[in-house]
């Protein structure tokens, strides 16, 4: 090893040893990679690698820009510059039009209408015709960039919020709603126009638009796709459309032609069945290896078909009465024919055989491996996790709680009133967020999560603290049936079973039902229309337990 390589290794170790300081600077103080690199006197590459290895989520470019633009000193500079030009603009408008805003002086529109039949030059048909198609300056690439920069990128979040607020207020004053597409007359008019021009009610449904969107997407990803195809020893037979559709390909090794889904080829599924005959995925093999590492002396059965009379179970641990399934997102979605009841039915069949079934979805293991390992360790061998029954429980700040939840919870962040947690110096080990009902004697738990290295047994300590100090008679919490989260609350009883719910996936990305509905409303489509047009598919969970704690009356 050269001296230079040795120096790089020493530097990587130094930064890795300082990861808690890096975490604080990056997540709490919200510094950029460049700023942290300057403080620690290292380079961005080594810092980025250390952050990734520590399972700290890297911010996107837009998130970094938003943080920088929202800094007080930047806001002040932008605001001062804006106010300076605004004053001059108002002065000019007052001299010319008698109003600070030229458009507020409507007399010229009345005069123009008498002379030309329309209230603005832009409404004249010859002007409109001259601006259609390629004649429209806004369609020039350099103008698109300028418009984007001036309209959005050069403004602070505060300014953008103000624009949105003013726009909504104007629409409310004029139409009674905050969005013109909420006016039924506008909806019908838009539908009619689209039907006349395109033959469909909404623009995203137009085959020509769909094709254009597809071509744009293909042009952006085709180089990367070809590289991945080559690495997988495959070549196209059919034309590439997207990575979620069935497509005919040929194996370069044996020339076998077969149909597959590229997204799964790229995640170690769906390769040539002749050259790669194994049924288990890379993720499943990793899960097996992890389980074997924590319970090396236990009997583990793979691909069992005896317990459920022919139905396969991926991993079985008889001594623990635990069954584990690794669910590939595509093969366990509605697109692959999986029904709403499939996962819950299999779970119930296992319960009837006195086995608890754990369902691990592909994206959870790929993106949140440490969180899944924590749940498996707790059930299979808890002494691999840290726990100290002498701990301090305190109220946590809302923002630090949200940061911890986003990093350490498999489920979405829910609105909450307060947060109680356990800290080791400055580091949160576990927390529970909650809200009070209107009756005030009922407490509803929202999120509960733990640092992956620590035991979920801390939840019992926090609940006991709630019972002793918050003077509540009842506590309610919902837990996912896919895991055994109800075991985290031994003082509680199951009072209800909630039916299965679904989320949406595309290309190993998953969003909640509510997130998709929000996206669909922006395009004036319902949930089903938006998911069909944009290639999102449903994937069902196993439902939830509703647990209740009741204070014992003497």
Residue with the two structure tokens 């337990």: 545
The answer to whether 537 and 485 have CB atoms below 8 angstroms apart is no
Task: For residue 514, give both structure tokens.
Answer: 């509510």
- Which pLDDT value is given to residue 55? 87
The proportion of the chain whose per-residue pLDDT surpasses 70, expressed as a percent, equals 93
Cα distances from 37 to residues 5, 26, 316, 432, in angstroms, run: 19, 11, 47, 34
From 438, 500, 447, select the one nearest 478 (Cα to Cα): 447
Write the pLDDT tens digit of every residue in 196-230. 888 888 888 888 887 787 777 777 778 878 887 88
Residue 203: beta bridge partners? none
φ/ψ region of 333 (left if φ > 0, alpha if ψ in -120 to 50, else beta) reads beta
- Which pLDDT value is given to residue 313? 93
Strand 474-480 to strand 544-550: parallel, antiparallel, or no bridges (unpaired)? antiparallel
Cα 298 from chain centroid (whole Å): 37
From 479, 452, 474, select the one nearest 463 (Cα to Cα): 474
What is the 3 state secondary structure string of 214-261?
Answer: HHHHHHHHHHHHHHHHHHCCEEECCCCCCCCCEEEEEECCCCCEEEEE
From 334, 328, 331, select the one nearest 359 (Cα to Cα): 328
Residue 259's pLDDT band (boundaries 50, 70, 90)? confident
The answer to whether residue 278 scores a pLDDT higher than 60 is: no
Give me the sign of the Cα torsion angle 215, 217, 223, 224: negative
- Which pLDDT value is given to residue 279? 45
Poorest-confidence range of 59-73, 136-150, 282-296, 378-392? 136-150
Task: For residue 45, give both structure tokens.
Answer: 């590459």
Cα distances from 441 to residues 417, 436, 467, in angstroms, run: 15, 8, 11
Write the pLDDT tens digit of every residue in 507-517. 667 888 888 88
- Which pLDDT value is given to residue 538? 92
The span from the CA of 160 to the CA of 90, in Å, is: 21
Residue with the two structure tokens 């005069």: 111
Write the pLDDT tens digit of every residue in 54-68. 888 888 888 888 888
Per-residue DSSP letter, 306: E
The answer to whether residue 244 scores a pLDDT higher than 80 is: no
pTM of the model: 0.57
The b/e string for 128-141 (b: 16+ C-beta within 10 A; e otherwise) is eeeeeeeeeeeeee
The answer to whether residue 320 scores a pLDDT higher than 70 is: yes
- Which pLDDT value is given to residue 440? 65
From 409, 410, 411, 428, select the one nearest 420 (Cα to Cα): 428
Give me the sign of the Cα torsion angle 152, 157, 162, 164: positive
The span from the CA of 425 to the CA of 397, in Å, is: 15
The span from the CA of 237 to the CA of 263, in Å, is: 16
What is the 3 state secondary structure string of 400-458?
Answer: HHHHHHHHHCCCCCCCCCEEEEEEECCEEEEEEEEEECCCCCEEEEEEEEECCCECCCH
């Amino acid at each position: 090893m050269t001296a230079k390589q040795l120096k790089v290794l020493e530097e990587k170790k130094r930064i890795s040893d300082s990861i808690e300081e890096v975490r604080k600077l990056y997540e709490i103080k919200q510094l950029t990679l460049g700023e942290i690199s300057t403080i620690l006197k290292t380079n961005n590459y080594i810092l980025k690698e250390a952050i990734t290895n520590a399972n700290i989520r890297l911010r996107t470019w837009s998130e970094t820009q938003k943080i920088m633009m929202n800094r007080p000193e930047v806001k002040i500079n932008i605001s001062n510059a804006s106010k300076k030009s605004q004053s001059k603009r108002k002065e000019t408008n007052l001299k010319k039009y008698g109003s600070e805003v030229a458009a507020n002086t409507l007399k010229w529109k009345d005069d123009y209408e008498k002379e030309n039949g329309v209230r603005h030059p832009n409404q004249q048909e010859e002007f409109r015709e001259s601006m259609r198609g390629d004649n429209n300056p806004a369609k020039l690439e350099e103008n698109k960039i300028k418009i984007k920069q001036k309209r959005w990128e050069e403004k602070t979040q505060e300014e953008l919020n103000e624009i949105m607020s003013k726009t909504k207020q104007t629409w409310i004053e004029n139409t009674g709603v905050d969005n013109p597409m909420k006016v039924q007359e506008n909806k019908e008019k838009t539908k009619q126009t689209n039907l006349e021009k395109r033959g469909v009610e909404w623009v995203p449904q137009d085959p020509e638009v769909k094709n254009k969107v597809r071509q744009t997407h293909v042009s952006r990803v085709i180089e990367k796709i070809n590289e991945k195809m080559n690495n997988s020893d495959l070549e196209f037979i059919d034309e590439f459309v997207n990575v979620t559709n069935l497509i005919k390909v040929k194996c370069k090794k044996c020339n076998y032609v077969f149909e597959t889904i590229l997204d799964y080829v790229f995640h170690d599924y769906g390769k040539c069945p002749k050259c790669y005959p194994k049924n288990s995925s890379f993720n499943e093999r990793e899960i097996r290896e992890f389980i074997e590492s924590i319970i090396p002396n236990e009997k583990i059965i793979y691909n069992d078909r005896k317990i459920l009379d022919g139905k396969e179970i991926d991993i079985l641990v008889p001594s623990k009465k635990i069954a584990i399934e690794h669910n590939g997102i595509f093969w366990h979605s509605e697109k692959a024919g999986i029904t709403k009841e499939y996962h819950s039915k299999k779970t119930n069949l296992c319960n009837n055989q006195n086995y608890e079934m754990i369902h691990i979805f592909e994206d959870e293991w790929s993106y949140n491996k440490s969180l899944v390992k924590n749940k498996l360790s707790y059930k299979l061998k808890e002494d691999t996790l840290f726990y100290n029954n002498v701990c301090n429980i305190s109220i946590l700040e809302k923002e630090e709680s949200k940061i911890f939840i986003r990093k350490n919870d498999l489920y979405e962040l829910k609105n909450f009133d307060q947060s109680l947690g356990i800290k080791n110096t400055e580091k949160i080990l576990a927390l529970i967020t909650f809200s009070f009902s209107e009756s005030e004697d009922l407490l509803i738990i929202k999120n509960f999560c733990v640092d992956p290295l620590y035991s979920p047994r801390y939840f019992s300590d926090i609940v006991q603290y709630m019972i002793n100090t918050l003077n509540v008679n009842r506590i309610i919490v919902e837990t996912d049936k896919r895991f055994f989260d109800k075991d985290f609350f031994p003082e509680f009883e199951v009072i209800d079973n909630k039916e299965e719910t679904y989320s949406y996936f595309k290309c190993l990305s998953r969003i909640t039902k509510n997130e998709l509905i929000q996206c669909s409303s922006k395009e004036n489509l319902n949930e089903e229309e938006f998911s069909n047009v944009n290639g999102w598919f449903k994937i069902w969970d196993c439902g939830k337990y509703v647990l209740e704690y009741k204070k014992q009356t003497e």
